[in-house]
Every structure is written in structure tokens, then in C-alpha cells.
Amino acid sequence: MAERQIAGRRGARRKAYDQFEQALAHSGCSALDHRLTGADPLPSLCAKHLRGSDRAVVAFADDDAWVLLVGPHAAGDAAADVYGVLYELAGVPRPRQPRTKPPCCDDDQTPPTLAEATVNSLVRRARLLRR
């Protein structure tokens, strides 16, 4: 799903994503803005503000970073909102409490990690939504 979302970016929006991808490859979790909050697995995922309302959602498993979703943060449109799609993928309800935005990296600059099976499950669900 993320590949299709990335391919749909043009101009400055694509440039912002490409710069983010380079920073992610070079800097890991410190290239992301914040960790998500809510029910599991959300606290193990991080987000990056790209350009305008565009956001990227990333998971870390072992030494790999997985860009799960790239899309607009459209708070008034749950169907288009990247976080709404994420909640559907993760099978969790939209958080009721105001979101906090803790740093993505732990104090020792390590990312939050998910089991590879959990990442694979999220990717599998994303493929089903894409159809």
C-alpha cells in the first residue's frame, strides 16, 4: 500500500518523501518526529510530518524500517486520514484521549520494535485493503 501511496506523490510532495527516505536510511528512528500512542501496536510505530498534511508511518523490526503508510492527515475524513487507515490496519479503535507525541527513539537512540510477525500482519492487512 505504501508503495502505491509513494508512487502517487508528485513534485514537492515526492521530494519531501524522498528526502525523508534518505534520512531514515541514514539516521533511523531519529528521522521520525514522534511515536504514536494508543492501543498496541501503536506505541511501537512512529510518524513523520512530510509536507503539508502528508505523514509517513513507520515500523521497526530487527534492523529493518518498514514504511507502512504515506498519506494525508485529514482529521475530518476518517476514510482518507492516514491515521484512520492505520487504526483499521492495526485493528484498534481510534484513541479517545488526546494524543501525546513522545520521541520515536528511546533515550539510547534505539527505535521501538515490533515482532516481524506483527509487521508482516500489518503489511498483509494493507495488501487486503488495497484491493
Residues in CB range of 40: below 8 A, 6 or more apart: 92
Note the pLDDT of residue 50.
Answer: 93
pLDDT reported for residue 7: 56
Residue 90 or residue 123, greater confidence: 90
For 4-45, the pLDDT digits (tens) are 666 566 677 778 888 999 999 999 999 999 999 988 999 999
Per-position DSSP letters for 54-88, written without gaps between them: EEEEEEEETTEEEEEEEEE--TT-TTT-HHHHHHH
Q: What is the pLDDT of residue 130?
A: 58
Q: SS3 for 37?
A: coil
Q: Where are the domains of the chain?
A: 2-130
Q: How far apart are CA 69 and CA 123, in angstroms?
A: 10
Is the peptide bond prior to 112 cis by the omega test (within 30 degrees of 0)? no
Q: What is the pLDDT of residues 48-57, one digit of tens each?
A: 999 888 999 9
**For 80-111, what is each residue's pLDDT tens digit?**
788 988 998 899 988 887 878 999 999 999 99
Helices (H) and strands (E) in the chain, counts: 4, 4
